[in-house]
Amino acid sequence: MAEPTVELLAYSPDPERVVAVAARRSYSRHPAKELWDELGDEEVSELLYRVIRQRHLSVLEHVHFTFAVEGVSRALSHQLVRHRIASYTQQSQQRASEQHFEFVVPPEIEDDPVLVREFQETMNNLGTAYQRMLDKGVKKGLARYVLPNACTTKLIMTMNARSLFNLISQRICGVEEWEFRTVATKIHEVLMTVAPNIFKYAGPPCVTELVCYEGENGERCGRYRMIPGAVLRNGFRKTTGDELLKHSKTC
Amino acid sequence: MAEPTVELLAYSPDPERVVAVAARRSYSRHPAKELWDELGDEEVSELLYRVIRQRHLSVLEHVHFTFAVEGVSRALSHQLVRHRIASYTQQSQQRASEQHFEFVVPPEIEDDPVLVREFQETMNNLGTAYQRMLDKGVKKGLARYVLPNACTTKLIMTMNARSLFNLISQRICGVEEWEFRTVATKIHEVLMTVAPNIFKYAGPPCVTELVCYEGENGERCGRYRMIPGAVLRNGFRKTTGDELLKHSKTC
Amino acid sequence: MAEPTVELLAYSPDPERVVAVAARRSYSRHPAKELWDELGDEEVSELLYRVIRQRHLSVLEHVHFTFAVEGVSRALSHQLVRHRIASYTQQSQQRASEQHFEFVVPPEIEDDPVLVREFQETMNNLGTAYQRMLDKGVKKGLARYVLPNACTTKLIMTMNARSLFNLISQRICGVEEWEFRTVATKIHEVLMTVAPNIFKYAGPPCVTELVCYEGENGERCGRYRMIPGAVLRNGFRKTTGDELLKHSKTC
Amino acid sequence: MAEPTVELLAYSPDPERVVAVAARRSYSRHPAKELWDELGDEEVSELLYRVIRQRHLSVLEHVHFTFAVEGVSRALSHQLVRHRIASYTQQSQQRASEQHFEFVVPPEIEDDPVLVREFQETMNNLGTAYQRMLDKGVKKGLARYVLPNACTTKLIMTMNARSLFNLISQRICGVEEWEFRTVATKIHEVLMTVAPNIFKYAGPPCVTELVCYEGENGERCGRYRMIPGAVLRNGFRKTTGDELLKHSKTC
């Protein structure tokens, strides 16, 4: 039973400064190198706050993050690659053999002794059916048609910070299925360790915009737990401090 | 046992003229409306030939084609959506029930009486396992984890002609698995009925560029069959007519 | 003195129905062709409202609009092509001669008799300098370096409805310079004639989201005038009808 | 008289290894971290060669390069931002004053004493006209309409290696105007210092594919000078070593 892992393989060095220099670029006549050297850490934070607050999000595109995402299902990867402003390279079922494949077990099923036994049995039967086809000379690219959505995969994904804001906004949302929510939360946690002054402003709309687009009445699901440090700064919306305070207590 | 279908739901009206007018736009000072009215059909064809030959392919982006792609496996759709310069809306396994799901059978398996029986049995068992989970109250979004790659899906896809050139170039290639090759060929066939003077120039690199990037020696696979009418016009490459003639006989 | 014109050259036929069918695609197991035939006009409207309200905006990408934009300055075109999810073909100053070029006069200058005379004189001098270079054998691609931002250009632009929502949202905003605001407003007006049930929901954030990201306090500029028919439907935001009413009176 | 400068502000660390690990990802079942640690430098080079030769170019998208491009004309920047798979932030003429603006002088003009005097005079007159408008209270965003294409700009640009291959391929081409050719060559030179085993394969089609799409007969312009070290490795095309040798001597 596989657990999703998210590891940061590489990323733009000094990401907060890169974005802050870009933010200055529009307004200044000074060379970029000067802007780079002159900006104090405080100013960097202040610029990041201002561009995100004013939704000048294009400057976030100058920094990229490359993740190894592993132990996730192909159900997840099929959804993940729908985020198009990104680059992916994925372990291919046409090229790498899936003998003894690992699989993801949804938590509701894992917690039920009967369901989990049946689920595992189904997976075992599929493993046997897959192997029998390979033994009879069927190519991996065809035998893979019996493999289940639960089958795990490994991929490398590169995304810029703007696209990651969008992914986090959609996928940490409480109406999202558990697997993508887990992966998005892990991505957010990793990003908070390397660019906290950017990613503390990322989150689902209920947190960053005090609005919910899901459901008929936009009801809140109450499932999002904010990452420590990812405190929403005031001023994102025309709203009173009291409203924000009330909000952060309830979700 | 499902068969893939490709149906053109909608497309930019007068696609050849739209592209030809765009081709003229760069060089001319006349209003677009005049260019539109003045171009004869012959000139349209000539302009299309010239821009494609000179690889000024951006003008192909002005026309779009919206397809309903149905009866294809989720193995196929996972690959298809990797073409990012396109828009997709797909039947969701989280929202639509997959009770009595249809499935794709790879031809090599279909042709072998033993393999096909085992394949169908596996599919039936999965259907039962899936149904049992739903009966026990598991959500569709979780029960789907047992569904196989072979399970069919339906999607709507919109792509511009440049992106379609790229799809056809890669996916009609003889090294591609049969399912995507089938879908890409059907897409090409449909496009030939509505914009032949554009899409007769589309094809795998062995046909359009007389070059093959696959394999160690770039060997030819001999599998591509040109669509009637999709005749390569000379001049795409610095090569003699004899070479081209010899080529079109062998593949 | 040129006036910007925006003309719709071509667009996806039946755009509202295409988007509505795509909206149904996610949830339904029926073939697209059936969805297409079954949907009544009322249902189409209702589906459009629902997907836009819930921000499932990807379905808007299935319809495209091709515009001839003419009589605009190169200052405008430089900004316009920054909208990257779009396709452009532009009259080239390297290829088409700019003899007797036309130019855009900003309204503040046009209204001032002294300023406008000086402006026109400057333009005339540039025309002379440009012509003298051509006469001395300088190539168009180099002589163009003296041409001003005010110099007009012609281009063909194709964008999907989602990208157009974004363009309208940003460029009709009251803080935008007059030229882009004029062009964006004309684009919006044209779209309202062919797909009103989609584009009546497009507008700057102050109208569609009751929020303003511009300026320190997000102050309203009071400049946006809603297109007749582009009435905001309730429910986009958690707000009372009274607030909305008050809002639509003030801007 | 400004000279274009190209400076690398930031880039994905260890770019060659990142791409090589991605290249392995498709075929291997091992975790990315293992692939990262196991690959020797020789293997990295070999993998880079193989994926580029086989045109599996998507793996090149995992590495990004952020440049400060300065001292270039707005004619250049207008063309540059047409490369859409990239991110830009540019000094704004609406926000930063262009008092005493610098300008680019095309070399053909610079070399002619009469032309260059006239060119400079024109620029001076524009500077005066611009300043007079500001003095009379015209906003920068409107006064900019008199500024010429030659006026310099500063921008920050982030592109992945695949998009950079495309830029180099098109813009180092001998038919391209001198300014973009200069900038593209400088970009290539900088990239050769940080990721030579990737960018030695980049170049115009005449070098990398032995084909030219420009002009009626695809004639060679003879202007490209290969960067030392950017030697084409055999095998990119089905061609004899002799042909390649002859080729690399002539251009």
Q: Note whether B102 contacts C: Cβ–Cβ < 8 A.
A: no
Catalytic positions of B? 171
Choose among C9, C23, C28: nearest Cβ to B18.
C9
A213 and C238: CB-CB below 8 Å?
no
Is domain C5-89+152-203 in CATH 3.30.1360.170, yes or no? yes
- For an interface test with C, the pick among B21, B26, B61 (most C C-beta atoms closer than 10 Å) comes out as B26
Please state which of the ranges A190-199, B131-140, C94-103, C209-218 shows the lowest mean pLDDT. C209-218
Q: In sequence order, what are the beta bridge partners of A153?
A: A72
Q: Note whether D211 contacts B: Cβ–Cβ < 8 A.
A: yes
pLDDT at D231 > cutoff 50: no
Assign residue B137 a region (left: φ > 0; alpha: ψ between -120 and 50; beta: otherwise).
left
| A neighbours by CB contacts (3+ pairs under 8 Å) | B, C, D
pLDDT (tens digit per residue) in D94-147: 887 777 899 999 999 999 999 999 999 999 999 999 999 999 999 999 999 999
- Nearest CA to A143 out of C202, B108, D234, B242 is that of B108
D62 and A87: CB-CB below 8 Å?
yes
Is domain A5-89+154-204 in CATH 1.20.1250.20, yes or no? no
Q: Note whether A162 contacts C: Cβ–Cβ < 8 A.
A: no
- The model's confidence at residue B90, banded by pLDDT at 50, 70 and 90, is very high
Report the distance separating Cα A73 and Cα A4, nearest Å: 9
pLDDT (tens digit per residue) in D33-81: 999 999 999 999 999 988 988 889 999 999 999 999 999 999 999 999 9
CA distance A46 to chain C (A): 13
- Nearest CA to C63 out of C21, C27, C34, C104 is that of C21
Choose among D73, D144, D145: nearest Cβ to C145.
D73
Q: In the CATH hierarchy, which top-level class contains the domain D5-89+152-250?
A: alpha beta
Q: Report CA torsion sign: D80, D84, D85, D89.
A: positive
Report the pLDDT value the prediction gives residue A239, as an integer from 0 to 100: 35
| C neighbours by CB contacts (3+ pairs under 8 Å) | A, B, D
Report the distance separating Cα B109 and Cα B114, nearest Å: 9
| Section D155-171 average pLDDT | 97
B214 and D54: CB-CB below 8 Å?
yes
B213 and D54: CB-CB below 8 Å?
yes
Q: In this predicted complex, what is the ipTM?
A: 0.89
Range(s) for CATH 3.30.1360.170 in chain D?
5-89+152-250
| Section C87-97 average pLDDT | 90
Choose among D81, D132, D144: nearest Cβ to C75.
D144
Contacts A–B by Cβ distance under 8 A? 117
- For an interface test with A, the pick among B91, B130, B135, B142 (most A C-beta atoms closer than 10 Å) comes out as B142
pTM of the predicted protein model: 0.91
pLDDT at A244 > cutoff 70: no
- Edge-to-edge, what's the strand order for the sheet holding D87-90? D5-11, D64-73, D152-160, D87-90
| Section A20-24 average pLDDT | 98
Report the distance separating Cα A146 and Cα A127, nearest Å: 9
| Section B172-185 average pLDDT | 92
Report the distance separating Cα A212 and Cα D169, nearest Å: 46
D149 and C108: CB-CB below 8 Å?
no
pLDDT (tens digit per residue) in D70-87: 999 999 999 999 999 999
Choose among C28, C61, C155: nearest Cβ to B87.
C61
B211 and D238: CB-CB below 8 Å?
yes
CA distance D214 to chain A (A): 31
Please state which of the ranges A103-107, C47-51, C155-159, C218-222 shows the lowest mean pLDDT. C218-222
Report the pLDDT value the prediction gives residue D35, as an integer from 0 to 100: 97
User: Residues near D150 by Cβ (< 8 Å), separated by ≥ 6?
Assistant: C145, C146, D73, D74, D75, D103, D104, D105, D119, D123
Average pLDDT, chain B: 86
- The model's confidence at residue B53, banded by pLDDT at 50, 70 and 90, is confident
Name the closest residue on chain A to residue C82, using Cα atoms: A58
pLDDT at D222 > cutoff 70: no
Written as six digits, the tokens of D99 are 């008092």
pLDDT (tens digit per residue) in B120-130: 999 999 999 99
Catalytic positions of C? 171
Q: Note whether B211 contacts D: Cβ–Cβ < 8 A.
A: yes
Report the pLDDT value the prediction gives residue B137, as an integer from 0 to 100: 94
Please state which of the ranges B57-71, C199-213, D225-239 shows the lowest mean pLDDT. D225-239
- Answer whether A190's CB lies under 8 Å from A8's CB: yes
Report the distance separating Cα A100 and Cα A95, nearest Å: 15
Report the pLDDT value the prediction gives residue A245, as an integer from 0 to 100: 34
B213 and D238: CB-CB below 8 Å?
no
Report the distance separating Cα D139 and Cα D125, nearest Å: 19
| Section A2-24 average pLDDT | 96
Report the distance separating Cα C168 and Cα C185, nearest Å: 7
Chain C (15-34) residues lying within 8 Å, Cβ to Cβ, of chain B: 18, 21-23, 25-29, 31-33
Helices (H), chain C: 15-25, 32-38, 41-53, 74-80, 107-110, 113-135, 140-143, 161-171, 178-194, 196-199, 205-208, 241-250
Report the distance separating Cα D34 and Cα A17, nearest Å: 31
pLDDT at B88 > cutoff 90: yes
- The model's confidence at residue B215, banded by pLDDT at 50, 70 and 90, is low
More confident residue, C221 or B4: B4
pLDDT (tens digit per residue) in A31-75: 999 999 999 999 999 999 889 888 899 999 999 999 999 999 999
DSSP B57: G
Chain D (229-248) residues lying within 8 Å, Cβ to Cβ, of chain B: 237-238
B29 and C90: CB-CB below 8 Å?
no
A88 and B75: CB-CB below 8 Å?
no
A149 and B74: CB-CB below 8 Å?
yes
- Cβ-Cβ contacts under 8 Å, B94 against chain A: 177
CA distance C96 to chain B (A): 5
Name the closest residue on chain C to residue D180, using Cα atoms: C141
- Cβ-Cβ contacts under 8 Å, B95 against chain A: none
